[in-house]
Amino acid sequence: MQPLHSPYKRQSKKLPIPVLGLGLVMLLNFASPTSSCTEQERSSLLKFLSELSQDGGLAVSWQDATDCCKWDGISCSQDRTVTDVSLASRSLQGHISPSLGNLTGLLRLNLSHNLLSGALPQELVSSSSIITIDVSFNRLKGDLNELPSSTPTRPLQVLNISSNRFTGEFPSSTWVAMKNLVALNASNNSFTGHIPTNFCANSPYFAVLELSYNQFSGSIPTGLGSCSMLRVFKAVHNNLNGNLPDELFNATSLECLSFSNNDLEGRFDGTPVVKLSNLVVLDLGGNSFNGTIPDSIGQLSRLQELHLDHNKMYGELPSTLGSCKYLTTIDLKGNNFSGNLEKVNFSTLPNLKTLDIYMNNFSGTIPESIYSCSNLTALRLSENNFHGQLSSGIGNLKYLSFLSLAGNSFTNITKALQILKGSRNLTTLLIGRNFMKEVIPQDENIDGFENLQILTIENCSLSGNIPLWLSKLPNLRLLDLSGNQLAGPIPGWINSLNHLFYLDISSNSLTGESPITLMEMPMVTAMHNETYLDPWFFELPVYSDPSLQYRVLTALPTGLNLSKNNFIGVIPPQIGAIPGELNSLNFLSAFDVSNNDLEGPIPTGPQFSTFPSSSFAGNPKVCSPMLLHRCNSAQASPTSISTNQYVNKAVFAIAFGVFF
Ligand SMILES: *[C@@H]1O[C@H](CO)[C@@H](O)[C@H](O)[C@H]1NC(C)=O
Ligand SMILES: *[C@@H]1O[C@H](CO)[C@@H](O)[C@H](O)[C@H]1NC(C)=O
Ligand SMILES: *[C@@H]1O[C@H](CO)[C@@H](O)[C@H](O)[C@H]1NC(C)=O
Ligand SMILES: *[C@@H]1O[C@H](CO)[C@@H](O)[C@H](O)[C@H]1NC(C)=O
Ligand SMILES: *[C@@H]1O[C@H](CO)[C@@H](O)[C@H](O)[C@H]1NC(C)=O
Ligand SMILES: *[C@@H]1O[C@H](CO)[C@@H](O)[C@H](O)[C@H]1NC(C)=O
Ligand SMILES: *[C@@H]1O[C@H](CO)[C@@H](O)[C@H](O)[C@H]1NC(C)=O
Ligand SMILES: *[C@@H]1O[C@H](CO)[C@@H](O)[C@H](O)[C@H]1NC(C)=O
Ligand SMILES: *[C@@H]1O[C@H](CO)[C@@H](O)[C@H](O)[C@H]1NC(C)=O
Ligand SMILES: *[C@@H]1O[C@H](CO)[C@@H](O)[C@H](O)[C@H]1NC(C)=O
Ligand SMILES: *[C@@H]1O[C@H](CO)[C@@H](O)[C@H](O)[C@H]1NC(C)=O
C-alpha cells in the first residue's frame, strides 16, 4: 500500500537550524585550520570517560595521545572543534560528567539508550553552544533545577530527557532563556505538578511538547494557545483535569493532540475543535468527555486518527464524518453512542483500517458501505444492539484480519460462517452471544479459514455436536465454545489441532468418555512450547474482562476448561486418579477440580502446591494432607507411587476447569 500523505510525519523530522550561523562558524574555522583537537577538549572528553563505570569499549579508541576528532562517536568541524558526541546504545554506565559543558563548540549530544545514572548536569542544558541534547532511555534521576533568571538566551533547540527517572516539579522559569527551543520531550518520567505555561512566551519556534507518562496534574495551561508553531502536544497518561481551554484552540498549527488517559472533562461538541484544521491525530480517549461528535468534525479534512474511546459521549455519528477522507482509525469504543451507522457513507473513507465501536449502544444493521473500505484490517462491532444477517459484501474486505461481532443480535450462523470462511486474512473471529438457539452447522463444505487462529462462539445456546469442520483449521490456537448446548463426545480429532493452547468447552452437554483424548493433545503434553511463543499480535486488544486486555496472544494463559459437562468414563492407567501428567503442566496458570467426584490423593509438586485447597473441594473421595480427608498410609506421597497403582475401576464423572 502507498503510505498516506502525512503532514505530521513528514514535517516532524525537520527542525529549523540556524543555517546561517553554522555556515558562518564553518567559514571562520576554514580560515584557520589546525591539525588536531585542542588539549582542553581532549581532557574534557577523557574526564567524561573517567566518570563512566562501564565505557562499552570506548577506551580502546579514546587514547590520550591521539586526535580526539578521530575517536569513536566524536565528530569535529573543519577547525577540529568537537561538534558531536554520538554515543547512543553503547551500554554506557556511570554518571554524565559536567566536563562535556567545557566543549565550547559542541552542537549535538546523543547519549540515548544507555544505562547512565545520576543527574543531568546543568552545564549541558545551559551550554552556550549545544542545540540538541538526547539523553532518553537512561536511568537519570533527580529534579531538573531551574536555571538562574539571569541566564542569557541559550541556543538549545531539542531536549529529549524521556524515559528516565526524573522527579519533582517541572522547571518553569528555565524556558524563558530557551528562545530557540523547538522540541521538548520529557515523556515517561515521574514529573509532578502543573504543566508550565510559558513555553511559547519566548520561543517562537516551539513545535513539539511531549509530556506523556508522568504525573502532571492540574489543568491544561492556557498559555500554550499562543504557540503558533506548535505541531505536537502529547500528555498521555497523566492526572490532568478540567476542560480543554478555549485558548488551546488558538494553536492552529497543531497536527497531533493527544491527551488520552487523564481526568479531563467537558462537552466535546462545546469545544472549537474545528479551528484546529491541521489536525492529523486527535486522541482524547480514557477521559470523561461528554456530549456528541459535532457535525463540524467534517471540517477536519486532514484527520487520520480519531480516538474518543472510553469517555461518556453519546448521540449518533454525524454523516459529516465521511468528509474526513484520510481517516485510517476511528476508535469510539466504551461510550454511549447510539443510532444507526447508516448515516455515515463509509465509501468515502477508502483509507480506513480500524473501526472500533465496541461497547456502545448502536443499533440497526451493518451498513453495506463499510464493505467498500477495502483496506479495513480490524472491525469491532461487539457489545452493541446490531441485528440482521451478515452480508456477502464482507468478502470484499481482503485484508480483514480481526472481526468481532460478539454480543449483538446477529442471526444465521450458517450463513455467517459460509461467508467468512473465504476471508483469507482472517486470524481472529469473535462472534459469541449472537445466533441464539441456532444449530451449529455441521457441513463439511465449511472449509477455508486458512489463517484463523482465534475462534470464539461462546454463550449462543447452539445445539449440535462439536463440528468436524473445526478439525480443518490448521492454525487454530484458541477455541471457545463454552455456554452452548453442544452434545455428544469430544471428537478424537481434537488432538490433531497442534497449535491449540486454550480450549474452553465448559457449560455444554458433552458426554462420553472422560477426556483421555485431551490428555494427549500437544498443549497438555507440553511438547510444543515454541508454537505459542512466537510473537503474534492482535489487531486490537481483546478483552476477557473490562479491566483486562490482551494484545499479545502469548499473554493469554494456556488453559483447558471442561467444567460443567457430563463426562463419564474410566480414568485410564496412564493418567491416574488425578491425571499425573498434569503435574508437569507448570504453564497452567490456574487449576480447579472442585465439586466433582474425583478420588485419590492430590499430586504434589511445584505447580499443585500453588493452588489453594478450595480448588479440590467438593470431591469427597479426594484426599490430601491439606484437606479434612487425610490420605491413609496406602495413599500417602503420591509422587513416589507409580500412577499405575491408581488404576481405578470406578466410573465417575470428571469435570475440571482452568480459569484465568
Ligand atoms: C572546565 O574547564 C575549566 C578551565 O579549563 C576547568 O577549570 C574546569 O574544571 C572544567 N570543568 C569541568 C567540569 O571539567
Ligand atoms: C539519538 O540517537 C538515536 C539512536 O541513533 C536516534 O534514534 C535519535 O533520533 C537521536 N536523537 C536525536 C535528537 O537526533
Ligand atoms: C527524542 O525526542 C526528540 C524530539 O522529540 C526526537 O527527535 C528523538 O528522535 C527522540 N529520541 C529517541 C531516541 O527517540
Ligand atoms: C519522545 O521520545 C520517545 C522516546 O522516549 C519517543 O518514542 C517519542 O516519539 C518522542 N516523542 C516525540 C513527540 O518526538
Ligand atoms: C519507559 O521507560 C522504560 C525504561 O527506560 C522503558 O522500558 C519503557 O519502554 C518506556 N515506555 C515508553 C512508553 O516509552
Ligand atoms: C485567540 O487568538 C485570537 C487572535 O488570533 C485572539 O483575538 C483571541 O483573544 C485568542 N483567544 C484566546 C482565548 O486566547
Ligand atoms: C445512553 O444514552 C441514552 C440516550 O441515548 C440514555 O437513555 C442512557 O441512559 C445512556 N446510558 C448511559 C449508561 O449513560
Ligand atoms: C457514498 O459515497 C460514494 C463514493 O463517494 C458514492 O458513490 C455514493 O453515491 C454515496 N452513497 C450515498 C448513499 O450517498
Ligand atoms: C440504548 O439506547 C436506548 C435508546 O435508544 C436507551 O433506551 C437505552 O437505555 C440505551 N442503553 C444503554 C445501556 O445505555
Ligand atoms: C440462512 O442463510 C442461508 C444461506 O447461507 C439461507 O439459505 C437460509 O435461508 C438462511 N436462514 C434464515 C433463517 O434466514
Ligand atoms: C493478506 O492477504 C494477502 C493476499 O491474500 C497476503 O498477501 C497477505 O500476506 C495477507 N496478510 C496477512 C497479514 O495475512
183 C-beta closer than 6 A to ligand 3: yes
C-alpha cell at 542: 481483546
pLDDT digits (tens, 9 = 90+) for 439-449: 999 877 777 88
Residue nearest to atom 6 of ligand 6 (CA): 250
Q: What is the pLDDT of residues 162-200, one digit of tens each?
A: 999 999 999 888 888 899 999 999 999 999 999 998 888
Where residue 626 falls among pLDDT bands split at 50, 70, 90?
low
Q: How far apart are CA 354 and CA 53, in angstroms?
A: 48
Nearest CA to ligand 2 atom 9: 134
pLDDT for res 512: 74
Ligand at shortest distance from the CA of 413: 10
pLDDT tens for each residue of 39-84: 999 999 999 999 999 999 999 999 988 999 999 999 999 999 999 9
The Cβ of residue 445 has, within 10 Å, a number of other Cβ atoms equal to 9
What's the pLDDT at 9? Answer: 38
Work out the number of other CB atoms within 10 angstroms of the CB of residue 443: 12
Question: Could you tell me which of 312, 306, 277 has the C-alpha nearest to residue 292?
Answer: 312
Atom of ligand 3 nearest to the CA of 137: 13
Cβ of 187 less than 6 Å from ligand 4: yes
**Residues with Cβ < 8 Å from 619, sequence gap 6 or more?**
593, 594, 595, 596, 597, 598, 599
Ordered domains of the chain (ranges, CATH): 18-259 (3.80.10.10)
Q: What pTM was computed for the model?
A: 0.84
Mean pLDDT score of the chain: 81
Contact by Cβ (8 Å): 301, 325: yes
CB of 132 within 6 A of ligand 3: the answer is: no
228-250: average pLDDT: 97
- Cα dihedral: 390, 426, 500, 610 (round 10): -90
* In contact, 229 and 204? CB cutoff 8 Å: yes
DSSP 374-441: TT--EEE--SSEEEEEPPGGGGG-TT--EEE--SSEEE-HHHHHHHHTT-TT--EEE--S-STT-BPP
Check residue 64 and give its pLDDT.
Answer: 86
Tell whether the model's pLDDT for residue 29 goes beyond 70. no
* 81-131 per-position pLDDT tens digit: 999 999 999 999 999 999 999 999 999 999 999 999 999 999 999 999 999
What pLDDT, on a 0 to 100 scale, did the predictor assign at position 15? 40
Give the pLDDT band (50/70/90) at residue 478: confident
Question: Under a CB-based contact definition with an 8 Å cutoff, are residues 561 and 458 in contact?
Answer: no
Dihedral over Cα of 584, 588, 592, 597: its sign: negative
**Number of residues in the chain:** 660
pLDDT of residue 492: 84
146 or 18, greater pLDDT: 146
Check if the beta carbon of residue 318 is closer than 8 Å to that of residue 343: yes
Identify which of 390, 392, 415 to mutate to test ligand 10's pocket (most ligand atoms within 8 A of the CB): 415
- Alpha-carbon distance of 33 to 660, in angstroms, equals 70
Short-list 133, 153, 152, 155, CA closest to 144: 133
